Chains A and B, each alone.
Chain A
Amino acid sequence: MKGAFLQRIMLGAVLVVAVIVLNFLLLQAAPGDVVDSMLAEGGGGDPKLAAQLRESYGLDQPIYIQLFKYLGRVLSGDLGFSFYYDETVAELIVNALPTTLMLTLSALVVAVVMGTLFGIYSAMNPRGLFSHFVTVFSLFGYATPVFWLGMIILLVFALHLPWFPAFGIRSIPEPDGLLNRTLDILQHLVLPVFTLAILYLASYSRISRASMLDVLGADYIRTARTKGMSEFVVIFKHALKNAALPVVTLAGLQLGQIFSGAVLVETVFSLPGVGPLLYESIVRRDYPVILGVLFGAATTTIVANIITDLLYKKMDPRIQSIT
């Protein structure tokens, strides 16, 4: 168990290094380098100055030495300097990440919890109306573009029924007091979180229903019932654990996708997260920030995958090692 855990961490570290190498290659492929953008800012291109600057930045060295230096810099947390903002890339990402993580995690929790409950309920009456609803709902969840859903939800719940604020993460001016501020942020998060959660909720309901139907036919459930346990105990104590496993697995596998969805939702709802940062940096061709976001997103996914694996092992003791 300990060995497997260590192996998992090692694999994660190798993946992080691989992401950095990919970033370096993409940076090489991108048109222009740091010196070009610095000189462009000054308005002129003195080739002598450019050569001097390249030398001082080590850009005249062979490519593998540059790669090792880049690797060392990134691993020590230095992601470079933004071409546009007067900040380091690391600062920009650290400022934007909390919003994105808050959105992603809340949506994930809502989707997993509600999806499992929907699945259980519809598995209890597989021929019932709700069960059909889950089937249709999951079809729509598959077919709806998340950014469009966000816009439609905005039109309905912010424009026609002005129940929720439309844009941003906090009101201007901010309300006084910590409690009011928290409530204000939560209110701003309701629509984006539900936009993101609904689509995954749909597929999770369907999957948890399928696994619940399997589990409910198992012998140990019949045993539990014949022992005279209430339906509630049978479902929530015996069946739930096994029915939730595929949902957790899928959620873990889909983290990257959910992150991508968050990028789109943030753009639609103007939340100051990683999404708009990436989008604006692409428009401005601010390559250090673009690649920094890719690195941050990939690292977050790697860490989250390790956590999911651990969670998975906790939920299912039969699984000793996941390769």
Chain B
Amino acid sequence: MSDKPSANVKPVFAIAEVAIQPEQRWRDTIRLFCANRAALFGLVAVAVFVFVGLFGPVIFPADPFDPVAAPLSAPGEYTLLGTDYLGRDVFLGIIHGTRPTLLIAAIATLVTVLIGITLGSVAGYFGGVIDNVLMRITEFFQVLPPLVFAMVIVAVFSSDMVVVVLAIAVTTWTTEARLTRAEFLKIREREFVTSSRAMGAGNLRIISRVILPNAMPPLIVAITLRVGITIIYEAALSFLGLTDPDVMTWGKMIGLSRDFFFDAWWTVTFPGVAILVVVLCIALIGDGLNDAFNPKLRGR
């Protein structure tokens, strides 16, 4: 008799969770996303970039830091996309730069999002004093111009990749925190939250298993767009020469050729086009997700 109530409660809990997270909606979202040709194109193109990042250095194993031809030779003269002021192959640089560029952006985005979602959900869920304190901290971080703050962090500590990733995360998490908080404030008063609390779910469970899944749609769109922003952000730091000098990234290629680009447009144009294309494709994915999550708002 004693285990009967718990046996009764369990399925109710399960049903409640299924109701909160209707699979139908996710299926609809995926269907709508796949119907969006631009978004699918973006997805395929990003997959190609990831492939190049993974296997490019295997297919073209030459060291991108080695000179291969005369300095500042035009595209097609010796190499496909020309050479820079030390005779390094621009094409090889782009291929080898893909992996670090994408990897740093992915890790930095992950750290940013983890900080943002954690602080945002705690602030939004508990409210009151906790919310107040966390929001004041958020405001403080918002008045520090991101790039300037990141430059200072790198200058004070080091241009190690770990520091660069942390600098990017520390200076940008506020957007995700605010968004998560806003979603939590909206959702926490809903009935299914009250009912799971009545069923004895703890705070951690309610935050992570009940509210967060329902807050995900706008967050997923924001995270997708964040990856693109982070790629550009990291490129800016590399452009200024503030990242690891031994790692070739697209931003660094542009920065290294800064004093020579009037004589050799190709040295800065092609790495920049690589950044532009990959971020553009990420934007297409983000737009597609946004339309798929909010079919009513299409075209805005």
Q: Which of B153, B154, B156, B283 interacts with A142 by CB under 8 Å?
A: B283
**Contacts A145-B275, A210-B300, A282-B151 hold; do A260 and B280 have CB atoms under 8 A apart?**
no
Q: How far is the CA of A260 from the CA of B235 in the complex (A)?
A: 13
Is residue A195 contacting chain B, with contact meaning CB distance below 8 A? no
Q: How far is the CA of A193 from the CA of B268 in the complex (A)?
A: 21
| Contact segment of A59-67, A79-87, A286-294 | A286-294
Interface size class of A (residues with CB under 8 A): 35 or more
| B155/A15 in contact, CB under 8 A | no
Is residue A19 contacting chain B, with contact meaning CB distance below 8 A? yes
| B143/A301 in contact, CB under 8 A | yes
Is residue A110 contacting chain B, with contact meaning CB distance below 8 A? no
Q: How far is the CA of A294 from the CA of B272 in the complex (A)?
A: 28
**Please, which residue of chain B has its CB at the minimum distance from the CB of A285?**
B155
| B275/A26 in contact, CB under 8 A | no
What distance in Å separates the Cβ of B138 from its nearest Cβ neighbour in chain A?
A: 12
**Please, which residue of chain A has its CB at the minimum distance from the CB of B152?**
A294
Chain B residues, Cβ within 8 Å of A251: none
| A15/B140 in contact, CB under 8 A | yes
Number of interface residues of B (CB under 8 A): 45
| A155/B240 in contact, CB under 8 A | no
Is residue A298 contacting chain B, with contact meaning CB distance below 8 A? yes
Is residue A230 contacting chain B, with contact meaning CB distance below 8 A? no
| A260/B148 in contact, CB under 8 A | yes
Q: How far is the CA of A209 from the CA of B140 in the complex (A)?
A: 31
What distance in Å separates the Cβ of A24 from its nearest Cβ neighbour in chain B?
A: 12
- Residue pairs across A and B with Cβ atoms less than 8 A apart, 21 shown, are A11-B139, A19-B144, A126-B299, A142-B229, A142-B279, A143-B228, A143-B283, A145-B275, A148-B254, A148-B268, A148-B272, A151-B272, A152-B268, A166-B262, A209-B300, A257-B146, A260-B145, A260-B146, A261-B147, A264-B240, A282-B242
Tell me the A residues contacting B by CB distance below 8 Å.
11, 15, 18-19, 22, 26, 29-30, 126, 139-140, 142-148, 151-152, 154-155, 159, 166, 209-210, 213, 253, 256-257, 259-261, 263-264, 267-268, 278-279, 281-282, 285, 287, 290-291, 293-294, 297-298, 301-302, 305
Tell me the B residues contacting A by CB distance below 8 Å.
139-140, 142-149, 151-157, 225, 228-229, 232, 235-236, 239-240, 242, 251, 254, 258, 261-262, 265, 268-269, 272, 275-276, 279-280, 282-284, 287, 299-300
